[in-house]
A and B are shown apart, each in its own frame.
Chain A
Amino acid sequence: EPEVTQTPSHQVTQMGQEVILRCVPISNHLYFYWYRQILGQKVEFLVSFYNNEISEKSEIFDDQFSVERPDGSNFTLKIRSTKLEDSAMYFCASSEEMVNTEAFFGQGTRLTVV
């Protein structure tokens, strides 16, 4: 069964460093998303991406964050100059349609900023 894969599963970084979280969406999907879940809290939308550009972003997704689809298979989230409060589980998701359909989620990358 097709699945969304994320790497790494766990990343530890020092405050102020840049990190790149990687995702391989399901191959025939066209819409891509990043979500964040701070420990013990709900899953929050960060950004959606379609046709090589951001479709929508939340207020959380400030200039510190960027997304890219560098090739035909990968979808990345870059966090510049990480802060302690960026520590969270980051989920990538993809879907065939933009709305009214199921988004398939990856297993997540746990980011720990120390």
Chain B
Amino acid sequence: AQSVTQLGSHVSVSEGALVLLRCNYSSSVPPYLFWYVQYPNQGLQLLLKYTSAATLVKGINGFEAEFKKSETSFHLTKPSAHMSDAAEYFCAVSAGTGGFKTIFGAGTRLFVKA
């Protein structure tokens, strides 16, 4: 079965600082991995996805994530945080034997301080 663990339910950074949101996955087959962002009272927006091509994936709004099979990780980073990045971020996995669904992590709320 597939699962996702997000380390840290809350992360706080200063504006302009590096953003690092951690995600580890478990999958018995090569997974497809996703990061979604959710702004308050809004739906889910796909930030980026890993689909077994390049291990470094670039997404929208300056975010990127690196797939590391040896560490079973897919951490999300952004070099310089903006106030507008404050939101909830969900890591998710979908894999070939996991059924027909996307499994979400518990989410990490990002706070950006001025």
Which of A43, A45, A108 is the most central at the interface, judged by chain B CB atoms within 10 Å of its CB? A43
Query: Does A99 contact B100, Cβ atoms closer than 8 Å?
Result: yes
- Which residues of chain A are within 8 angstroms of B112 by Cβ–Cβ distance? none
- Which residues of chain A are within 8 angstroms of B106 by Cβ–Cβ distance? 41-42
CB closest residue in chain A, given B46: A102
Of A41, A56, A100, A107, the contact of B94 (CB 8 Å cutoff): A100
Number of B interface residues in the complex (CB < 8 A): 25
Of B42, B49, B104, the contact of A42 (CB 8 Å cutoff): B104
Taken together as a complex, chains A and B put the C-alpha atoms of A48 and B34 apart, in Å, by: 19
Taken together as a complex, chains A and B put the C-alpha atoms of A49 and B44 apart, in Å, by: 20
Q: A43-B44, A107-B43 are in contact. Are A100 and B103 (CB under 8 A)?
A: no
B89 CB to closest chain A CB (Å) equals 11
CB closest residue in chain B, given A107: B43
Query: Does A98 contact B43, Cβ atoms closer than 8 Å?
Result: no
Q: Is the interface of B mostly helix, strand, loop or mixed?
A: loop
Contact with B along A72-114 (1 / 0, CB 8 A): 0000000000000000000101000011111111111010000
Contact with A along B2-44 (1 / 0, CB 8 A): 0000000000000000000000000000001010100001111
- Which residues of chain A are within 8 angstroms of B36 by Cβ–Cβ distance? 105
Contact with B along A37-70 (1 / 0, CB 8 A): 0000111110010100001100000000000000
CB closest residue in chain A, given B45: A105
Taken together as a complex, chains A and B put the C-alpha atoms of A102 and B35 apart, in Å, by: 11
- Which residues of chain B are within 8 angstroms of A42 by Cβ–Cβ distance? 90, 104-107
- Which residues of chain A are within 8 angstroms of B104 by Cβ–Cβ distance? 35, 42-44
Taken together as a complex, chains A and B put the C-alpha atoms of A98 and B98 apart, in Å, by: 10
Q: Does B96 contact A (CB under 8 A)?
A: yes
- Which residues of chain B are within 8 angstroms of A100 by Cβ–Cβ distance? 32, 51, 94-96
